[in-house]
C-alpha cells in the first residue's frame, strides 16, 4: 500500500466533509419562502380550527393542539426576528 502526501491530499479534497451542507437546486431565498409558507399555513390552520371550535364543529382537543402549534410558530418567528435584529445591530457597532 503506497501512501504518498499527494495521494492523501487528493483523497482528502475529494471527500466532502460532514459539516459541509448538501448542495441543492434551491437557494436560501427558496428555503426562506418555504418557511414563510409553512408559517402562514400553520396560522391559517389554527384560525380555521378556532372558527370550527366556535361553531361546535371541532373538539376542544384539536383547538388546543392547533393553538399550541400556532403559539410555537409565532414564538419561533419572534426569536428569529430578534436574532436578525441583534446581528444587524452588531454589524452597525463594528468599526469601519
Quote the pTM value: 0.63
Is 87 inside a domain boundary? yes
- pLDDT band for 2, please (50, 70, 90 cuts): low
Residue 71 falls within a domain, yes or no? yes
pLDDT tens-digit readout, 65-75:
999 999 999 99
> Among 7, 24, 27, 4, which Cα is nearest to 15's?
7
For residue 11, the tally of other CB atoms under 10 A from its CB is: 10
Question: Are the beta carbons of 85 and 58 closer than 8 angstroms?
Answer: no
User: Is 68 contained in some domain?
Assistant: yes
Supply the range of the domain harboring residue 42.
25-93
* Domain total in the chain: 1
Answer whether residue 8 is part of any domain.
no
Residue 32 lies in a domain: yes
- The whole-number pLDDT of residue 30 equals 84
Which pLDDT band, with edges at 50, 70 and 90, does 23 fall under?
low
Amino acid at each position: 500500500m503506497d501512501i504518498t502526501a499527494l495521494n492523501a491530499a487528493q483523497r482528502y479534497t475529494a471527500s466532502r466533509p460532514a459539516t459541509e451542507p448538501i448542495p441543492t437546486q434551491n437557494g436560501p431565498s427558496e428555503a426562506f419562502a418555504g418557511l414563510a409558507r409553512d408559517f402562514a399555513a400553520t396560522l391559517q390552520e389554527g384560525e380555521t380550527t378556532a372558527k370550527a371550535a366556535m361553531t361546535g364543529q371541532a373538539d376542544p382537543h384539536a383547538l388546543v393542539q392547533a393553538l399550541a402549534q400556532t403559539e410555537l410558530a409565532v414564538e419561533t418567528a419572534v426569536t428569529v426576528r430578534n436574532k436578525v435584529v441583534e446581528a444587524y445591530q452588531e454589524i452597525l457597532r463594528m468599526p469601519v
